[in-house]
Amino acid sequence: MSEIKIAPSVFAADLGLLREQLAEMEQAGADLLHVDVMDGHFVERMAFGADHVRALRKLTRLPLDVHMMVERPENHLDSILDAGADIVTVHAEATTRLLSCMQKIHKAGARSGVVLNPATSEETIRYILDDVDMILLMTVNPGEGGQHFLPAVLDKIKCVRGMIDERPIDLEVDGSIDDKVIWSCYEAGANVFVSGGYLFKGSITENIAKLRKACE
């Protein structure tokens, strides 16, 4: 199993206190900063874009894990990569050029990743596993509020971990991740955990520590 990585989701941060919260995340040992890019089409919400990624790049040393919830991500990759993304994940459901996207991300010197919605079969990505560095499994429907963790995704995590085999691929989960469900995800095979609402309630430092401890 790869090392455990905690990825706070900046979408849940207090933008008025962003500089201070980023500093606290770094000091608390966060591993990545998860940045959701939403276009209002692939998902209902709109959030962030290349300019926001560029601004975040100036504010933090954390690697930027950019999750593109957009239609035809191939049309936006250049701007996101130029803005300073370290990891870019795109939805298998959003493009017919998935392999091309992975190759473009690698060519730019970043790490590539593919995302699957809860209802999308893991078989969708079986034949591109040698071209990805990260697989992100959504444990809620992306871009919708007020949801709860979907336990059925645990079986998918196990299946994908088996598909990965010995490949050096991170397996990330995103959606209602807290100190209660993180262990089940870790036990199933995930090693990267995106946390938003839970992590930013109260002390960021304490909540990062609780997430790590829950995996012990």
Catalytic residues: 36, 174
Residue 48's closest CA among 20, 76, 26, 21? 76
Strand pairing report for 46-47 and 33-39:
antiparallel
Cα–Cα distances (Å) from 83 to 100, 108, 122, 125, 149, in that order, read 20, 11, 30, 27, 32
Cα–Cα distances (Å) from 41 to 30, 145, 147, in that order, read 31, 16, 19
Q: Is the Cβ–Cβ distance between 68 and 88 less than 8 Å? A: yes
